[in-house]
Amino acid sequence: MNIDFDRARHVMVEQQVRPWEVIDPLVLDAFENIRREDFVPPRLRKLAFADVALPLEHGEHMLRPVVEGRMLQGLELAPENEVLEIGTGSGYLTACLAHIVRAVTSIDLHEDFVARARSRLETLGFACAKVQCADAFAFRPGSRFDAVLVGGAVAEVPSAWREWVRVGGRMVVVRGLSPVQECVVLTRLTEDTWREESLFETDLPYLRGGEPRPRFVF
């Protein structure tokens, strides 16, 4: 059976993403124009627009489209922004970010993910997106960003990550203990003060290194 991918992508936006209260025109335009089907594993291409998390290598997953949309919207992106993405994965959200903003730095622990994302982004002509292999818990970017998107869950947000956000900037991250985690927006108001906003509850796999610390019971 042949699939009209353009039609399926439009239906995903109109029947899944919009009803989940994603109304930011920049996010919706990215979802309409970036070919999600080109970023999923080939064997799952027909499921590219399903409302499910799709498995990748190394036990990782592409997030559900509605979750991706809400997270992107939470960043309140503008075309002049510089963004850091933690967890490149398939590279789909990296491409969506590059479609919207001026510059994207994306890091991932897996070299094959990095190589594949670079190739896809080059094919799309997104020279503004730089992808590198790095451990988010040891990463030292040497600069701050207008927005930081964390593509996996952490039990607690490392304090070092907050230093990557410029004053006035935002971080979207899923934190807490599975199976009840919370996607939050952390906005840096001044060097020392933050505003916190809850977006939705979810349950995502932890970033490697972001799992809860073991608890010892005597």
Model confidence band, residue 3 (pLDDT cutoffs 50, 70, 90): confident
CATH number, domain of 91, equals 3.40.50.150
In a domain, 217, yes or no: no
Residue 172 in domain: yes
Confirm whether 12 is domain-assigned: no
Answer whether 98's CB lies under 8 Å from 170's CB: no
Indicate whether 35 belongs to any domain.
no
pLDDT in tens, 75-132: 999 999 999 999 999 999 999 999 999 999 999 999 999 999 999 999 999 999 999 9
Q: Please give the residue range of the domain that contains residue 135.
A: 66-202
d(CA 111, CA 119): 12
Residue 40 lies in a domain: no
User: What is the C-alpha separation between 196 and 187, in angstroms, rounded?
Assistant: 6
Cα 191 versus chain centre, distance? 25
Tell me if 169 is assigned to some domain: yes
Q: How many domains does the chain have?
A: 1
> pLDDT (tens digit, 9 = 90+) per residue, 8-64?
999 999 999 999 999 999 999 999 999 999 999 999 999 999 999 999 999 999 999
